[in-house]
Amino acid sequence: MAEGTAGKQLLHLVFGGELTSLESIEFRDLEDLDIVGIYPDYKSAEQAWKAKAQETVDNAHMRYFIVHLHRLLDPEAKTTHEG
């Protein structure tokens, strides 16, 4: 985690897994989800997401997502810019 960075900590979760079809977001096996990590800002989460997406580019059913944990933890908070 980057310490001493300016601004408020905005946690983001990066995870993914194989989908049952290309038309939905339903995972084939929940026990096989890949929890990449939790990141202190959108930029670092996006870098991790891009790296994992690139690793799995040959599997069309494999998808990775960025979840804005800070929005779930504090739904009343307003953020001005996420990247």
pLDDT of 43-76, one tens digit each?
999 999 999 999 999 999 999 999 999 998 887 7
Percentage of residues in the chain with pLDDT exceeding 90? 73
15 confidence band (pLDDT: 50, 70, 90): very high
* Interior/surface letters 36-54, b for 16+ CB within 10 angstroms, e for the rest: bebbbbbebbbebbeebee
Q: Which residues contact 63 (CB under 8 A, 6 or more apart)?
A: 16, 17, 18, 19, 25
Parse the chain into domains and list their residue ranges: 10-17+41-83
Q: What is the mean pLDDT of the chain?
A: 87
